[in-house]
Amino acid sequence: MKKLLTIGSVLLLLIGTSAFAQVDVTFKVDMNVEMGKGNFDATTDAVAIRGAMNDWGETAMEDGDGDGVYEVTLSLAPDSYDYKFYHSGGGGTWEEGYFDGNRNVVVADAGTVGPFFFNKLGEYTGVGTTIEFQVDMQLPIKQGNVIPGVTNVYVAGNFTDWGDNAIALTDDDGDSVYTATIETITSGEVLYYKFVRSASDVGSGTWEEGLEGDDVANNGNRIFGVVDSDTEVRRFWENTDPNVELGDGNILFSVDLTVMEELGIYDPVVDSLELRGSFNGWSTSNPDISRMNQDFLDPNLWQLNIPFVNTEIGANQFYKYFVNKADEDDIWVDGYERPLSQGGGNRDVLFAGSPTQETGNYFYDDVHPDWVIPAGTTVEITFSVDMGPAIDPNVTAVPFNPAEDELYWINEQPAFTRVMNWADTDTMKVLQLTDPDADGIYTGTLTVVGPSFNAFEYRYAFKDMSENSWTSEPSGFGDFAYRVRFAEMTGARAFVSPYSAPTDTWTNQENKSDQSEDKPAGWTTSVRDLDELAKNFELSQNYPNPFNPSTTIKFKVPVTDIVTLKIYNILGQQVATLINKEMNAGSYEVKFNASELASGIYMYSLEAGSFRATKKMMLLK
């Protein structure tokens, strides 16, 4: 097919066509990078072209073969046309930021414009392309993590089979920018990759972590769509400008194992708890910065104070808690927690450069004691999922066949798997969903008999019975790779049963935050009696502070009285009531979840009798 040339992206010479004749021009845009970033969902979002050819209205584009490339053919008179591509994801997204103004095409003859990657200039035609990867290592050199001439730097991605064939970068001119040229790239490819630093090989190296920016996919890797004109990719290590403020400090990490001990799956006498994160290489090779210590006063609480040296102020530190079982079995084989607040992803804390910074006390997996299903209690929860996107061959590469395939609910929370005594596998058959009325909505009811807990972290998978193969919804290491749902509650350890969870939709995206919940419906903020005497009224500073999304507020009341604890925004408007009831004398703590509030300064105010106290706190998302 004849290709068209545009101004600023492709330029078509006006030749051999009557000024009054219309010609067919096919426009193509590749949405694979947008999908990889989580900005666009092919199952729910639409793509359009808008420009002078339709008075900047909206002409829909289609992806007939499910390859992520959308196209439309328009009959146009020879002329010059400004235009842009547009998609409905994120409430509506125009191309912007990667080029000035609009795209432009000068039409003279029939042909094809594109394909282009959304938000990027330059066509691709599937030709061999040489790319020079460059990574600026000034920051890790300043931090002492990279020693020029000693430390090795690599690039690893889907084009190197990741670590198997990672490519070494070198800094021949000593400018702290490490480079490597790769000649095996084809334009049109979507590259996923990261940089790695190591004292030896990739296998023992430190991979980039906590990436943020326009080049980051929702699975945490870098992403890059290659066009014919690309010659280099240049980045800062971890996308962090080397001219940042560095400092020393400590962070006290704390986690509460109340629920896990109550359920009998963690024994503090023989089992151990570890802290694994970006600051210790996700390793336990140094027990001083990985082995958690049981608190002497509160044996359910485990803590570890980690020193940080020459670390970026305001940088995220990623981590998880890890249960190391003394009696290894075939069930709890993965000790990493899957925090409900992150949809299974890593926890994070912003380094403040303070010697007394604390994360606050989280429950392991974020499972609150109120959510425990006691022995003798049964909770029935029905899950449902719209399988329309899975059935559509234009959306799912290996489509679901309702006539013969089997659909299953797959638990992805190891602690829940252990409590339920299931085998831990991504092809577990503990709950099959069916569609007896053939409306495309599959349902299945899970019966949970206590002792257990009310929190469900999961995805869906189906088995092709003719091929004996499985197709699962995508997962990864990013936040909300799994859905989070709860049965409705009427109070602490009181559940609505049977209960039907909101209907899910099969998705081919990793991030499932739009199909997740942060707490059970009907559950109010929990107040914990610390079982301590109180001599005076007292309202303590919340911790952690700043926080995201949860924080703890402690207070003391020396006499029985009506107590109110309320949250206000900076304008003085009340946004939440945490407590409004009579309370006995004592010391208490309240967990406040601000996931539904915007970032900013908030006040919390305690009133009891004639006592009044107000303090500030900061929510940073």
- 3-state per-residue secondary structure call for 575-590: EEEEEEEEECCEEEEE
Q: Domain holding 500: CATH number?
A: 2.60.40.10
For residues 541 and 354, give the distance between their C-alpha atoms in angstroms, rounded to a whole number.
Answer: 16
Residue 470 is predicted with a pLDDT of 95
Q: What is the pTM of this model?
A: 0.66
Residue 14 lies in a domain: no
389 and 357 in one domain? no
222 and 135 in one domain? yes
* Single residue among 218, 239, 260 that ends a domain in this structure: 239
Residue 140 lies in a domain: yes
Residue 71 is predicted with a pLDDT of 98
185 and 163 in one domain? yes
Please give the helix or strand (H or E) that residue 433 lies within, else none: strand 432-433
Which residue in the block uniquely carries the two structure tokens 């908030």? 602
DSSP structure string for 79-100? EEEEEEEEE-GGG-EE--SSSS
Residue 181 lies in a domain: yes
Mean pLDDT by runs of 10 across the 621 residues of the chain is: 45 43 96 94 93 94 95 96 93 78 92 95 94 96 94 97 96 96 95 96 92 90 94 94 91 94 93 94 92 92 95 91 83 87 92 90 91 96 97 88 97 95 92 97 98 98 93 87 95 92 94 91 76 87 88 92 91 86 88 83 94 93 75
Q: What 3-state class would DSSP assign to 274?
A: strand
Which residue in the block uniquely carries the two structure tokens 């802290």? 275
Residue 516 is predicted with a pLDDT of 94
Residue 469 is predicted with a pLDDT of 92
For residues 541 and 539, give the distance between their C-alpha atoms in angstroms, rounded to a whole number.
Answer: 7
Q: Domain holding 597: CATH number?
A: 2.60.40.1930
Which residue in the block uniquely carries the two structure tokens 């235009």? 83
385 and 315 in one domain? no
359 and 376 in one domain? no
Q: What 3-state class would DSSP assign to 204?
A: helix
Q: Which bin fits 522, alpha (ψ -120 to 50), beta or left (φ > 0)? A: left
Residue 113, CA distances (Å) to 13, 91, 106, 306 in order: 13, 27, 10, 56
374 and 499 in one domain? yes
Amino acid identity, position 471: T
Q: Where are the alpha helices (DSSP H) in 238-326?
A: 258-262
Q: Which residues pair with 237 in a beta bridge?
A: none
For residues 428 and 436, give the distance between their C-alpha atoms in angstroms, rounded to a whole number.
Answer: 22
How far is CA 144 from its chain centroid? Answer: 30
Q: Decide if 211 contacts 223 (C-beta within 8 A).
A: no
Q: Decide if 258 contacts 415 (C-beta within 8 A).
A: no
Kindly tell me the sign of the dihedral angle through the C-alpha atoms of 284, 342, 215, 46: positive
Residue 11 lies in a domain: no
266 and 206 in one domain? no
Residue 15 lies in a domain: no
For residues 206 and 294, give the distance between their C-alpha atoms in angstroms, rounded to a whole number.
Answer: 29
Residue 20 is predicted with a pLDDT of 57
220 and 193 in one domain? yes
374 and 498 in one domain? yes
For residues 394 and 472, give the distance between their C-alpha atoms in angstroms, rounded to a whole number.
Answer: 17
Query: Which among 351, 348, 353 has a CA at the least distance from the CA of 249?
Result: 353
Q: Whole domain around residue 574: which residue ranges?
A: 527-619
Q: What 3-state class would DSSP assign to 343?
A: coil
> Cis (ω within 30 of 0) for the bond into 549?
yes
Which residue in the block uniquely carries the two structure tokens 């073969």? 65
Residue 224 lies in a domain: yes
* Single residue among 64, 85, 117 that ends a domain in this structure: 117
Residue 18 lies in a domain: no
The DSSP symbol for 564 reads: E
State the total domains in the chain: 5
288 and 410 in one domain? no
Scored b (16 or more CB within 10 A) or e, 275-296 reads: bbbbbbbbebeeeebbebeeee
* Single residue among 117, 152, 181 that ends a domain in this structure: 117
Sheet holding 527-529, edge to edge: 527-529, 586-593, 550-557, 538-539
211 and 266 in one domain? no
Q: Decide if 400 contacts 507 (C-beta within 8 A).
A: no
**CA angle centred on 305, ends 299 and 307, rounded to 5°:** 170
From the CA atom positions of the chain, what is the Rg in Å? 28
358 and 416 in one domain? no
Q: Name every residue whose Cβ is closer than 8 Å to that of residue 175 and which is 6 or more positions away in sequence.
A: none
Residue 467 is predicted with a pLDDT of 87
Residue 164 lies in a domain: yes
